[in-house]
Every structure is written in C-alpha cells, then in structure tokens.
C-alpha cells in the first residue's frame, strides 16, 4: 500500500514511525521543515524553543519512543512550573517530579530524530494544494502535479485540512464540514534576551485563570545548552485574545510583552531586553475535538486525520505524538 502523509509535525512523523516496520510505502509532504510546533530558533549563541516549550512525560509509549531515539543531548528542565493569576500573584506549583524534555540543540531535534527513525520519503518545502477521491485511492495535487496513493493521512490544523479536501464524497464532505467547526486559539510567542542572569526557584510560570495578557512565561536558561552563562532569555507566550489581535494586524508585540513581563516579575530591568524575537502561531491550540464517527467514516475510505483536533484533551506535544502513533497503527490494519 502507498500512503501519503500531509504534514511532518510530530503527528505525521509519529504515524510514519509506527509504519516503519510494515510493508506500507510512506511519502510525507511538508510545506516547511519537519517538527511543526516542535520548533527551535537560534540567535547570538542562544537556542530557544519557539513553539512547544517541552515534551511532557505523561505517556509511557511516548517516553519509550523518545528514549529509543537516543538519550544523548536529551535534557530536562528540572525546576517546577509555578502559577500566577490575573493580579500577577505568583504561587508555587506542584509538578516538580514531571519531566519537561527538550534537547541541548532545542526541541526541533525531536522532529529530526523522528524523521530519521521513519522509513519514509520526506519532502520538505513542498506544499500539497488539494486532496480528492480517486475512486480506489486518493489524488494529491502537489505543487501543480497530481500524485496518486492508496490512502492518505492529513495532519494540519483543522481549518487547513478542511481547505485541502475537495469534499467529493459524502464522507470527505462531512469531514471537511466537521473540521470547519473546530475553533483555534492564536498564540504570539515573544522571546526576550537579557545580558544579566536571572535566578528563580521555578522553570516557568503559567496563568491559571486565563485573565492575564501573559499565558506562559518560561526561563530558557533552565535548559542545558540553550543560553550562555551570565545571560537570561525568557519565552513569553501571550494570551489568545491579545495574540490574535496583534497577529491579525501584523504587530510584532515584543515591546508590549516585555512591559507586561517586567510588571509580572516586579522588576523594571525586564522592560528593556537586549534583543527580541516574535513568532505568531495562528492555529496554536484547538478548542474542541472532531466527531469520532465522522473521522471513522472517512477512515473506512482510506482517508485518515491526526492532530490536536482529533484527540480529546489539551493540545500538547506528547498527545499529538501519541495520536500519530495510534493512527499509524490503525492505518497498518486498514
């Protein structure tokens, strides 16, 4: 069987890994680079995880896979995550024993290691324009050319998946309609660098009442190899409404974010970073889960989907990876 996978985030790569020991030929198309939200940027000797900040260790199947990919360079942000509320009141958290994994070179290495493990042809910088039924199989329009496969797996966010589908069968039309019902929260990530060290008893702060303009504030210096000694780098993931407004208007927002960070930490030094970076994630967090029966009907025709919007629970990197592994196993039985 020939399978096309659209998207080389951890869901798509997880499915490819699950199929590595089968006789299914897997071809992966990715419009950017592998890893999706397991993204890392580097600047001035710093590496920083600009999408997902780490991989949680809540799933033993995922844990075993990550370890099997090689533990060299695997690092853990060992300090706990603390909390804060709308008034900026910071309080201790309770996750000191949970792993918060990344790599010395950044979380993007997870995608690279998964891609290496998968026995698949992976085409990066390659955009799929549409997916349509071919009667027995599926036709993908890939940069103007038609490619035919026995089955297809779509892993982009729900709105992107809906736009890819031609909706030329009852099942695909229903799947596209279902995908359009899934709302997403946008997240603007502001990266703030400082030339002084920043010692705190926590790795990160998370807003618990969803009433603050900062949703998450992480200290990248807690990850080995990410920040040179004597410097500090903060990764602020801003609240969805605050983020959506600025992403829509093309506003970078780093200066505003720095002011908010300085106020939260009650330290005016943080209002004036040495340098900044911003990354806008329009489809960061899925609100809602696709109807399982609609997904199952499409799968009966050889059209599979994976990603945040297809699994119950919070949008997290480990759940996306586990979802990819699970759908890969289902495809093997198709």
pTM of the model: 0.94
Q: What is the pLDDT of residue 1?
A: 94
Spatial separation of the C-alpha atoms in residues 188 and 271, rounded to whole Å: 18
Distances (CA, A) of 116 to 13, 17, 112, 113: 10, 9, 6, 5
**CA-wise closest residue to 6 among 330, 284, 307:** 307
Q: What average pLDDT score do residues 105-126 get? A: 97
> Domain containing 280 — which CATH number?
3.50.50.60
| Token pair listed for 122 | 């992976």
Contacts of 71 (CB under 8 A, 6+ apart): none
Number of domains observed in the structure of the chain: 1
Q: Coil, strand or helix: which one is 260? A: helix
Q: Please give the torsion angle defined by the CA atoms of residues 130, 114, 320 and 163, in that order, rounded to the nearest 10 degrees.
A: -10
Q: What is the pLDDT of residue 97?
A: 64
- The string of pLDDT tens digits covering residues 36-79 is 999 999 999 999 999 999 998 888 999 999 999 999 999 999 99
Q: What is the pLDDT of residue 106?
A: 97
Split at pLDDT 50, 70, 90, the class of 315 is: confident
Q: What is the pLDDT of residue 96?
A: 60
Q: What is the pLDDT of residue 93?
A: 87
Q: What is the pLDDT of residue 313?
A: 73
Spatial separation of the C-alpha atoms in residues 309 and 306, rounded to whole Å: 7
**Is the four-CA dihedral 245, 247, 252, 258 of positive or negative sign?**
positive
Q: What is the pLDDT of residue 320?
A: 93
- The domain containing residue 289 runs over which residues? 2-332
DSSP state of 239: P
Split at pLDDT 50, 70, 90, the class of 311 is: confident
Contacts of 111 (CB under 8 A, 6+ apart): 8, 9, 10, 13, 33, 34, 35, 36, 38
Contacts of 232 (CB under 8 A, 6+ apart): 193, 194, 196, 197, 198, 219, 220, 221
Q: What average pLDDT score do residues 85-101 get? A: 86
- The string of pLDDT tens digits covering residues 142-194 is 999 999 999 999 999 999 999 999 888 999 999 999 999 999 999 999 999 99
* Percent residues over pLDDT 70 in the chain: 99
């Amino acid at each position: 069987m020939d399978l096309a996978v659209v998207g080389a985030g951890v869901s798509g790569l997880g499915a490819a890994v699950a199929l590595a020991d089968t006789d299914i030929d897997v071809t992966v198309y990715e419009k950017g680079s592998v890893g999706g939200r397991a993204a890392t940027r580097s600047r001035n000797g710093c590496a920083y995880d600009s999408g997902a900040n780490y991989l949680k260790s809540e799933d033993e199947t995922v844990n075993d896979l990550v370890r099997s990919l090689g533990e060299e360079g695997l690092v853990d942000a060992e300090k706990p995550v603390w909390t804060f509320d709308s008034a900026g009141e910071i309080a201790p958290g309770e996750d000191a024993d949970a792993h918060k994994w990344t790599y010395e070179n950044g979380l993007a290495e997870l995608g690279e290691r998964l891609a290496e493990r998968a026995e698949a042809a992976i085409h990066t910088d390659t955009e799929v324009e549409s997916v349509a039924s071919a009667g027995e199989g599926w036709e993908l329009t890939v940069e103007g050319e038609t490619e035919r496969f026995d089955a297809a797996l779509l892993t982009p966010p729900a709105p992107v998946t809906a736009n890819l589908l031609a909706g030329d069968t009852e099942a695909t039309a229903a799947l596209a309609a279902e995908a359009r019902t899934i709302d997403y929260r946008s997240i603007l990530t502001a990266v703030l660098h400082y030339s002084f060290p920043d010692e705190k008893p926590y790795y990160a702060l998370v807003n618990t009442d969803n009433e603050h303009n900062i949703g998450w504030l992480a200290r990248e210096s807690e990850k080995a190899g990410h920040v040179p000694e004597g410097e500090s780098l903060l990764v602020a993931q801003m609240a969805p409404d605050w983020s959506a407004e600025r992403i829509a208007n093309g506003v970078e927002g780093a200066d505003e974010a720095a002011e908010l960070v300085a106020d939260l930490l009650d330290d005016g030094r943080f209002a004036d970073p040495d340098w900044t970076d911003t990354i806008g994630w329009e489809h960061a967090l899925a609100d809602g889960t696709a109807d399982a029966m609609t997904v199952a009907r499409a799968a009966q025709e050889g059209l599979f989907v994976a990603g945040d919007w297809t699994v119950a629970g919070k949008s997290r990197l480990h759940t996306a990876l586990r979802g990819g592994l699970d759908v890969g196993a289902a495809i093997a039985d198709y």
